[in-house]
Amino acid sequence: MVQKLDYLRIYNQDIRLVSSSEVSNIEAGLIPDIWFELFKEENINDRKEALLNLWKKYVGYELRNTIAYLSEYLEDIEIIECDKVYSILYTVKNPDGDVLYYEGRNPQDEFENSELEKHWDKVPVSLKNFYKNVHNGFYYYASEAMGLVPIASVTYLGDDDLEWSIIDELKEPLQIELNTSFGFFSNGMGSYVVIDTANCENNNATFWSAKVQPKYNINFWSYVDEWIVIGFQA
């Protein structure tokens, strides 16, 4: 426990682990009701199964490989807190025995992304379901990447402060509108899986990078599901 907390505090000095016995004392409304129910389960296997059933309910098809991996390699789940902001910490042990920590943010977090909010009604329902019912982002704790980022960190491609030098190197005309496009997945190295809210029927997406040519008309969930599992195995 001490070793885990020391690691977590490398990236957030004020983070703390909330013991299972403390969860019931969290103020009502600060975490989803289902989290209270989850952490009443004393058996860790029952607790993990209940959480993964939540994933299956909302994105069971879309993130089936991620869920299958977690079903096999998820070691523990705990609540972490900083300034009354709560998340679930996933402890994942990969086939090589390496321990990785992933954070699943609170779906009740405030919506802090003014540009995305303007286009939120156009975002695919399955993606909104994940953010509203499962987690406000699920990602590798140390980098806040290799997963779906929190709403506040979703990249707005039309941001004037961002310079996409790749545009000058495109081999074909740009096929997305930067002013309606948002990167929901980040690999932490300048690449994103992007939803253009003006053209996202059937989860149509673009693999966008500052370094390589974009890949258009990909399936959002197929790429995200594959990349999350790649992160688990890294």
- For residue 122, pLDDT over 70 is answered with yes
What Å distances lie between residue 229 and 14, 68, 142, CA to CA? 29, 10, 16
The CA radius of gyration of the chain, in Å to the nearest whole number, is 18
- Overall pTM surpassing 0.85 (yes/no): yes
The band of 20, judged by pLDDT with boundaries at 50, 70 and 90, is confident
pLDDT at 157 over 90: yes
Distance, CA of 53 to CA of 156 (rounded, Å):
32
> Residue 1 pLDDT more than 70?
no
